[in-house]
Structure 1
Amino acid sequence: MTTDSSRKVRVALVFGGRSSEHPVSCATAAGVMAAIDKDRFEVIPIGIAKDGRWVLGEDDLSALSLEPGHLPEVPDGGNEVRIPLAMGERTLSVLEPGQPPRDLGGVDVVFPLLHGPFGEDGTIQGLMELADLPYVGSGVLASAAMMDKHFMKGVFTSHGLPVGPFVTITDRQWRRDPQAALASVEPLGYPVFVKPARAGSSVGITRVRQAEQLRAAIELAREHDPKVVVEAAIFGREIECGVLESRDGAVPRISEPGEIAVERGHDFYDFDAKYLASDGVRLSCPADLPEQDARKIKAMASEAFEAAGCEGLARVDFFYTPDRRIILNEINTMPGFTPHSMFPQVWQASGMSYPQLISELIDLALERKLGLR
């Protein structure tokens, strides 16, 4: 797709959403709105309230900040936004109480800054495909499969990529025979990590040190997702790589590997450590690794991106063990994207600033065709 170079590209920034990661998405939107190249882009902020309504947002960045004691959210009383579903029609409209629909103008591209279910999982991607609207990030299948840790690990193992031992507990299994589900975890040993299968930002995750704690941890995870993944603890360093799609079918671009080190105050890299901690967590890039192993990690990140069929961007997470084994943990198709998140930081260390990264992702979306590809 091409746009008139004499005008600004109109970007619909979609944030919030129905998942438990709603506050993180709001904070991400604040970061992007503050850093986007305003000489090139005109931003239309669209918030998705927790009840699922799409409302016209405002440029009040302070209201969207994520701080201790303040979890931002999209207000549910704003003017409702409607998107067209006819091919070639890209004009948004706003519904105001007691007024006829107001034309908001057309958009060139959608930047969905949504995390978790009902956003990152292929749902909004499918809506954008139906609406014939270009959008940033992976398509429907890659977004859905990589959101589900069970299917994600299946994709990786089918491509010969190493993943750690795990067990999946479906809603049916838990309701039918919880004792059998609990017993299925025993071969993993302890400690284990109990996770919602389709959530991120460490929401609903518990580190379980003994069998007596397992049932409560599963019930907590099920508050966020009826499907649960239990992973054997892997002792090692947490290494992450950013991936960007390349143009013209070239191999993906890989950032320098970065490392997360939780030094104090947290059992693991949980929600508070990711978004609220001012100390006790160290992010470093490039990670201090043997050159040969750094190359292996970058190559594996590229393989994971290709195996999953990702587009646009992704962050690939690894464990690096003391005996120099490299184990693929997961891939995030819409990684944390605040200015302080790991994905922008590893690209900053690799020579691409946060504003440049935003522009690059929008340009990639504008160049990509819609539909089957």
Structure 2
Amino acid sequence: MTKNVLVLFGGQSPEHPVSIVTAVGVLNALDRNHYNPIPVGINHHGDWVLAGTHQPDDADWSVATLINERPVETTHTTALSDELPEVPATDTPVALRSVNSSTQLIDVEGNVIADIDVAFPLLHGPNGEDGTVQGLFETLNLPYVGAGVLASAVGMDKHFMKIAFRHAGLHVGPWVTVTETDWHTNRTAVLEEIAKLELPLFVKPARGGSSLGITRITLLSELEQAIEHARQYDTKVVVEQGILGREIECGVLDGLNGAKPKASYPGEIVVTDDDQDFQFYDFTSKYQSENSAELSCPAELADDVTALVRAQAVTAFQAVDAAGLSRVDFFYTYDNELIINEINTMPGFTPISMYPQMWQRTGIDYPELIDTLLALAQQD
């Protein structure tokens, strides 16, 4: 018996196009013997749009067919094009409702499109990865893939995330948080506090993702402009002291039936693009250049360091009370210190994204990973 899976993508955050590409990957890998996908996109207005209305029978999904464009002859690519896709506007939005302990997808007239058994939210950023849509699913009593309300919110907020990590005994790098109130009423004191950090600095939206809004600065004269840039994405900003070292990532996958979460082999991002000056692994190098970066996995680390990365990744997962999946990012310094950077409770999940690639190298391929996540969502 197949189950209906609400594959929810798009959203109102700047990571909207990344989510669309992620959904294409998941739809093409979903086990159709067990799951019937019901793709729904959220457009920039917040409308829910029934997707895939031009999807040909028995054809692979593409970005075009997912956002209701008629299929055309294209060269398939796993990277985003310069013209970023978006969920279209609609006069006929759809919605979820709960009736007699079941969840239904309905049209504007209240007609039932499908009964939904489980949701697979593939939303990144605010109003999707931050606990908001998870709260909606909770009120509908609808099982869903990934972290719950609290873990999603903490995992989205770099300030509270760091506090949780410190409490769990993990090594966190120096940072300063700049709130909206601080910036308008206490700016001089905030800038003086930031000046105590060692350059270079990374200025980030506190609740952003996919490296959007991040600036690396090497001069304090660049600080205010960098904060203003980050504030275009979030009114709360974190300024982190740059850490000299290797960037190591590790995937965490929850355990079925109460088993302990497990960690993938650690991976390391190696930026390789010679044509662009990627000062860090930014949005363009992640999603719009297929040749800008390579994943080294397993990362070349001593056995004891590899074991430490995997153990601390699980500790970080549990520190924020995550569920389902997460990617944990570390710095491994040249003084042999392991410093945690952040956790992503809904990491990039396209077939070329680091999270599924690390699990592929650890022994769990993309379709099996998706099947496991859906099983985790539905377990009692």
Of 70, 83, 86 in structure 2, the residue corresponding to residue 73 of structure 1 is 86
Shift of 1:277: 1.5
1:239 alignment counterpart:
248
Aligned residues: 358
Partner of 1:51: 45
User: Residues 35-114 of structure 1: matches in 2 within 5 Å?
Assistant: 35-58=29-52, 59=55, 61-63=62-64, 67-77=80-90, 79-86=92-99, 88-95=101-108, 100-114=109-123
- 4+ residue runs over 3 A deviation: none
Code of the aligned partner of 1:125: Q
User: Contact (CA 8 Å) 1:66, 1:72: kept in 2 or not?
Assistant: no
Native 8 Å contact 2:179 2:237 kept in 1 = yes
**Residue matched to 2:312:** 300
Shift of 1:66: 5.1
- 1:115 maps to a residue whose letter is H
Alpha-carbon distance in structure 2 between the residues aligned to 1:170 and 1:87: 44
Q: Distance in 2 between matches of 1:185 and 1:361?
A: 41
Distance 1:62 1:337 in 2: 15
Structure 1 SS opposite 2:107: strand
Using the TM superposition, name which of 121-130 and 66-75 deviates more: 66-75
1:1-373 superposed matches below 5 A: 7-58=1-52, 59=55, 61-63=62-64, 67-77=80-90, 79-86=92-99, 88-95=101-108, 100-263=109-272, 264=274, 265=276, 266-368=278-380
User: Post-superposition shift, 1:71?
Assistant: 0.8
Question: Is the CA contact (8 Å cut-off) linking 1:9 and 1:108 kept in structure 2?
Answer: yes
What TM-score, normalized to structure 1?
Answer: 0.93
Measure how far apart 1:352 and its partner are: 0.7
Kept in 2: contact 1:8–1:41 (CA 8 A): yes
Which deviates more, 342-351 or 73-82?
A: 73-82
Paired letter, 1:289 = L
Deviation (angstroms), 1:78? 5.6
Task: Write the deviation string for residues 23-49 of structure 1: whole angstroms up to 9, x where unpaired.
Answer: 111111111111111121100001011
Q: Secondary structure at the match of 1:90?
A: strand
How far the C-alpha of 1:246 sits from its partner, in A, is 0.4
User: Which stretches in structure 2 are left out of the alignment for 5+ residues?
Assistant: 56-60, 67-77
SS of the residue corresponding to residue 311 of structure 1 reads coil
**For each residue in 1:168-219, what CA deviation from the matched residue of structure 2 results, as whole angstroms up to 9, or x when unmatched?**
0001100113222222210112110000000100000000110111111100
Aligned partners of 1:179 and 1:341: how far apart in 2?
A: 40
| Cα deviation 1:69-113 (Å, max 9, x = unaligned) | 121111112631110145613121112xxxx33211201100000
Q: In the alignment, which residue of structure 2 is the partner of 1:4? A: none
CA distance in 1: counterparts of 2:119 and 2:81, whole angstroms: 30
Partner AA of 1:358 in structure 2: I
Contact 1:122 1:139 in 2 (8 A): yes
Cα distance, 1:68 vs structure 2:
3.0
Tell me, in whole angstroms, the C-alpha distance in 1 between the residues paired with 2:254 and 2:91.
36
Alpha-carbon RMSD across the aligned residues, in angstroms, is 1.3
2:348 partner letter: G
SS in 1 for 2:94: strand
Question: Is the 8 Å Cα contact of residues 134 and 366 (structure 1) preserved in structure 2?
Answer: yes
Deviation at 1:158, TM superposition (A): 0.9
Distance 1:354 1:57 in 2: 22
Normalising by the residue count of structure 2, what TM-score does the alignment of the two structures yield? 0.92
Q: SS of the residue aligned with 1:188?
A: coil
Counting aligned pairs with the same residue, the percent is 50
- The SS at the match of 2:25 is helix
Q: Is the Cα contact below 8 Å between 1:23 and 1:66 reproduced in 2? A: no
